[in-house]
Structure 1
Amino acid sequence: MPVTIEGEEYYTNSEVSDELKVSRQTLWRWREKGSIPAGLRYRTRQVLFKADEVEAIRQFANRLVPIELGSGSVRQLGLFGRGSRQQEES
């Protein structure tokens, strides 16, 4: 349930993490990296986000990023028993 301060609704860190199904620690890391809005500190030291910030976080959390194939992919494929075969074919 959002907190209303001076007529504007704010959402807590816990509410955002629950809604997006990510941990609060993940939100914290994203904030530290600057990937999502930092939010605002409320008097109880609680982090609050405006509705538009929550939407920006939602978009970041649900983004699709292409997988970059390269030398690291061979190493990763090795976990599935395919890396060595692919290296031999190269």
Structure 2
Amino acid sequence: MKFRQEVEKILTEFLVGINVNYIVPLEMECDELRRKNIQLNNKATRYKNKYNELKSSIGDDTTNYRDMAIKLKQERDMYRNMYRKLKSRK
């Protein structure tokens, strides 16, 4: 073999060794971290959606409870007035 071919062979073996021993494991770790990141993003999105859904439903319930309280108060006042009228007749 010529000197140039021997140098190229040595460099190729060295670079292949670096690729197999260093770069491939880093790429695999990077892919695994990407998968975990996607899972965590999906999980965070699900929790965010649930939070927004609960937040909006609580807001609707509060207005319903407020309306119910106003109606109950009006009904209470009506019965109170009816009782006073009956009591004043006796």
TM-score, normalising length: structure 2: 0.29
Greater Rg, structure 1 or structure 2? 2
The answer to which structure has the higher strand fraction is: 1
Greater relative CO, 1 or 2 (CA 8 Å, sep 6+): 1
The answer to which structure has the higher helix fraction is: 2
